[in-house]
Chain A
Amino acid sequence: MASVNVPDGLRYTKDHEWAKNEAGKVRVGVTAFAVEQLGDITLVELPKVGTKVEAGKTFGTVESVKTLSDLYAPLSGTVVAVNDDLASHPEYVNDGAYDKGWMVVIEASDASQLDALLDPEAYKKHLAESDH
């Protein structure tokens, strides 16, 4: 899995979500590794703007042809933006996991939560360890 794209400047969860700090607000999506595991994504269920999410709890689902996978919030806060394009274009997640496939923007209840997430090196290590 060494070839999987893990961009610098993002934070990661062991459940394969990424989180990007944008001036206090945090953009969230799933990693290229998650996309590779899921295959062709056909349905993305996301919360509405204003929904409160809790770190480690599910905030939505991603379905591929084969399977359904929960999305886990990397941090607690309130959803302030949702990528509505994914309703009609779930394939955006396959095409651009780190850009047009973003899922929500969360206003963190406490911005320091980001520091508790994995940095790119730690996430790569996590991928290497779980690759059997």
Chain B
Amino acid sequence: MVPFAGWEMPVQYSGLVDEHHAVRKAAGLFDVSHMGELDLRGEHAIAVVNYLVTNDISKLEDGHAIYTLCCNPEGGVHDDLIVYKAAHDRVLVVCNGANRDKIVGVFAKAAKDHCEFVDRTDETALIALQGPKAWDILAKAGDVSALAKKPAYSFDEARLFNVDCTVARTGYTGEDGCEIFMPWGEAEKVWNALLEIGKEHGLKPCGLGCRDTLRLECKMPLYGQELAEDINPLEAALSWAVKFDKGDFVGRAALLAAKEKGLSRKLVGLEMVGRGIARHGYDLRGAEGGEKIGFVTSGSPSPTLGKNIGLGYVPADKSAIGQKLFVDCRGKDVEAVVVKTPFYKRAGR
């Protein structure tokens, strides 16, 4: 167990690579209860949230969720979030565990005098069931037949093992599957019951370690690595989640100015050519022994691809596919190349 944002969390159960393959080929179960759950209610709840985030939640249908950034006034990223619209007057915001206090502060302040705000993190558990077998397993836990037919990012109430849950077709692995919200006290029961019924489908409990390698293969950003207060979403290749035409929002002016000026740096995917593994914080150079031109945000061997991959920020003019770079692996410059991302994409999508 490792300490993580005030939580004790397992890095691995049966082994990182074993768990990684289980999620890609069968299914994996993650306890992600450290994530923050913020509940906003009232007729202005949507407007309050929409002003704090970059994506447009005003057009969201009931029972649908959306990925978005929450920016500071300078356009840097406070956090990345999933916003769930339950009804015209009810929104659930899920934030990263490490950013909970910061995001609670931002949302509580904005909600004051406009809508109700409750931090439900301590009373809510979140379990992610991910992988091609996820829905086969879930079908044995309760009636999820309607949700199983809906597109990604849909969510609905469901009774699983006689526990009232909210099941969302979301995740952080690049596989199909769901995330299940439930009352804190029911989590152990649901966790154990899912593992039991999932066994015959190859379901394995999974830790933080493979969560990181799975999301990296799909180029899903991780706060504190690809995203930070001094990195804007456009640089992070997340402009699809920034809707300038939706009206004003925190960070809009700064982001618009950054867009018009042109980006000075971009997030790129790297594949190691030489023998070495890029890791968070390593320098990137344009030439062997040359000046630092950027930095690695994430890096790891990819269990699915059998290659060493990474993500990093480089100047825009060094970001083209095929660009040769060098990663300073603790004093040794190892050749890498900019490649197309995501590194992995599941079939049939």
User: Which residues does A use to contact B, with CB under 8 Å?
Assistant: 39-40, 42-43, 61, 63-66, 68, 87
Partner of B209, one of A42, A63, A65, A87: A65
Top 6 A-B pairs, shortest CB-CB distance: A42-B301, A40-B17, A66-B209, A65-B301, A39-B16, A63-B277
Given contacts A65-B209, A66-B16, A66-B209, contact A43 B300 (CB under 8 A): no
| Contacting residues, chain A, for B276 (C-beta < 8 A) | 43
Give CA–CA (A11, B279) in the complex, Å: 32
Given contacts A65-B300, A66-B209, A66-B300, contact A39 B15 (CB under 8 A): yes
| Contacting residues, chain B, for A43 (C-beta < 8 A) | 275-277, 301, 308
**CB <8 Å contact, B301 and A87:** no
Give CA–CA (A24, B276) in the complex, Å: 33
Interface contacts beyond A39-B12, A42-B301: sample of 8 additional A-B pairs, CB < 8 Å, sorted by A:
A39-B16, A40-B15, A42-B308, A65-B16, A65-B209, A66-B11, A68-B277, A68-B279
Partner of A87, one of B12, B275, B330: B275
Give CA–CA (A43, B301) in the complex, Å: 9
Nearest B-chain residue to A66, judged by Cβ = B209
Give CA–CA (A55, B91) in the complex, Å: 59
Number of A-B contacts (CB under 8 A): 37
| Sample (23) of A-B pairs whose CB atoms are under 8 Å apart | A39-B12, A39-B17, A40-B15, A40-B17, A42-B301, A42-B308, A43-B275, A43-B276, A43-B277, A43-B301, A43-B308, A61-B330, A63-B277, A63-B301, A64-B16, A65-B16, A65-B17, A65-B303, A66-B16, A66-B213, A66-B300, A68-B279, A87-B275
Q: Is the interface of A mostly helix, strand, loop or mixed?
A: strand
B20 → A minimal CB distance (Å): 8
Give CA–CA (A124, B17) in the complex, Å: 28
| Contacting residues, chain B, for A61 (C-beta < 8 A) | 330
Give CA–CA (A45, B14) in the complex, Å: 26
| Contacting residues, chain A, for B330 (C-beta < 8 A) | 61
| Contacting residues, chain A, for B17 (C-beta < 8 A) | 39-40, 65
A13 → B minimal CB distance (Å): 21
Nearest A-chain residue to B12, judged by Cβ = A39
Nearest A-chain residue to B1, judged by Cβ = A132
**CB <8 Å contact, B209 and A39:** yes
| Contacting residues, chain B, for A42 (C-beta < 8 A) | 277, 301, 308
A27 → B minimal CB distance (Å): 24
A83 → B minimal CB distance (Å): 15
B28 → A minimal CB distance (Å): 15
B260 → A minimal CB distance (Å): 41
Give CA–CA (A65, B300) in the complex, Å: 6
Nearest B-chain residue to A70, judged by Cβ = B330
| Contacting residues, chain B, for A63 (C-beta < 8 A) | 277, 301
B95 → A minimal CB distance (Å): 24
| Contacting residues, chain B, for A65 (C-beta < 8 A) | 16-17, 209, 213, 300-301, 303
Nearest A-chain residue to B272, judged by Cβ = A43
Partner of A40, one of B11, B16, B212, B277: B16
**Which residues 321-338 of B sit at the A interface, judged by CB distance below 8 A?**
330
| Contacting residues, chain A, for B11 (C-beta < 8 A) | 66
| Contacting residues, chain A, for B308 (C-beta < 8 A) | 42-43
| Contacting residues, chain B, for A64 (C-beta < 8 A) | 16
Give CA–CA (A61, B279) in the complex, Å: 13
B157 → A minimal CB distance (Å): 37
> What sequence of 0s and 1s flags, for each residue 135-169 of chain B, a beta carbon within 8 Å of any chain A beta carbon?
00000000000000000000000000000000000
> What sequence of 0s and 1s flags, for each residue 310-325 of chain B, a beta carbon within 8 Å of any chain A beta carbon?
0000000000000000
Nearest A-chain residue to B302, judged by Cβ = A65
> What sequence of 0s and 1s flags, for each residue 205-218 of chain B, a beta carbon within 8 Å of any chain A beta carbon?
00001001100000
Nearest A-chain residue to B15, judged by Cβ = A39
Give CA–CA (A66, B300) in the complex, Å: 7
A47 → B minimal CB distance (Å): 12
Give CA–CA (A22, B252) in the complex, Å: 68
**Which residues 253-299 of B sit at the A interface, judged by CB distance below 8 A?**
275-277, 279
| Contacting residues, chain A, for B15 (C-beta < 8 A) | 39-40
Give CA–CA (A39, B308) in the complex, Å: 16
Give CA–CA (A63, B279) in the complex, Å: 10
| Contacting residues, chain A, for B212 (C-beta < 8 A) | 66
Give CA–CA (A42, B275) in the complex, Å: 10
A95 → B minimal CB distance (Å): 14
Give CA–CA (A64, B11) in the complex, Å: 13
B229 → A minimal CB distance (Å): 26
